[in-house]
Structure 1
């Protein structure tokens, strides 16, 4: 196809109309049964700092302890998904290792980027330094490198992908947009910002479902749960289950800060993570019902969010400020005859 030949250039208006028509199709529904693929690829999304890495490190460790083959892939440019799993040690990222190896005329090998502990295999995609590139494009490049390493031939029961949820760049929506994952799991807390991010991800899932996608939301993990109930109310409002509620507890905080694994039968928290592992494995992907902004604010007390504020329209005079003095018009006005 030549872009210089108008006969071969696609009609973008027709394509746009086709997408709109497909999006309006009422019969597109998320499959409600359990995934049939041997390998469940699950994308986990949440606001930065909400505790995705803590949740995933312990979840993956518990799954491995239960006899499952688990691959954990950090897809956050901060590259800290595996830090708790590896006792705080930084894992060489796929992108930086690939760049270094390429300069040396060498090929990347599995042992350069993938490490294991407690039966969990883990790696970090990585990303560009601040101001030196697009994090989303780095994610896409990282998955291209994974394919070259044989990703589609690997034998795992679960592949867990840790994605930053408060970024709308296409690279971070890859598992949803390209049906790379069977289902999405959200991590949030009882605060407006984390639930705003969770709701955004629900909106992304709904958008791509309308375009014929197959990814659904399996549920919400409430982290640092203080019992106030907003996250539970959100899950009920968007029609997704709560897979686990991890309490706001000083023992968990200290162990996480010291890079200690609690997702093990040897821990007092083992039963909690064992239940989460079972819920993650069995929860079917469902089609969420994302909220609008007012609906999201309605989950919280107005005195805490300012949700009772009424918009006050600005005027032209407001905008002109000190320049608001009336100016003489050059318009000629004729008297009525």
Structure 2
């Protein structure tokens, strides 16, 4: 979901040094201030500033570079906080790709919220994996059901045959779209609109709110809901920074992450409906399809193949995460 931006580490470091003060923490994310990650970040900032003398400087998408850039800055301690989807973190933490196994997450929003809030896999096991990369995982949260946008109608997997489908640079997502019958094409977000416009690619996936805010509907003709995925993202802190905080300040950060989580899980529930209505108003001839259970079956059948690929890619560690995640999903029904 990342748009293209110019970035050099030297310029970014100089800019951050200029705006930062001893009492200011820095937080970068992958979307605009008005999109889901931006809304979460704003609520996080509001809680910190209302309950302490600290201030939070927010860096929306494009301020400091691409997703890989802000992650590097967080690991280096230039940023105190970073919000990044496991879709990109998957290259750093392969087990995080588990969220891209089709149909692994529930469609029911209340169940999904309980899962992220109570899951041992998310709140304990993943914390260890992120810590190994110098990151303190604070929260994972959902951004909304992923929809496909394409040039031609998609009613079954065979309709994706030969379709060059843009995916994030995530190995398991590549395998997912291979199993769906498409030709997965990893591209940075900045090339997606133009790629669709010039027919270099013929499809991509994202939550509904992002289809509207980025105007992707302008260069595609069909939005299809297969129910195969819900976009997951995560907020992290630089681990050295977090470990050096007082116990009270650590609790402040945890409380801010929890408050923002409670807000965002309710906020994002309505976005599919409201933003889809905006798309319809902007492009009345847009074709919107929700696949039936029968039409979804081939996509569901492909999930077993993708799950096997995930275990192959991640070994015992990934298999343990997958087993625990499934147990957590069952426990939070």
Give TM class, smaller chain: under 0.3
Q: Which has the higher helix share?
A: 2
TM-score norm. by structure 1 comes to: 0.24
Q: Which has the larger radius of gyration?
A: 1
**Relative contact order, CA 8 A, sep 6+: which one is greater?**
2
TM-score norm. by structure 2 comes to: 0.25
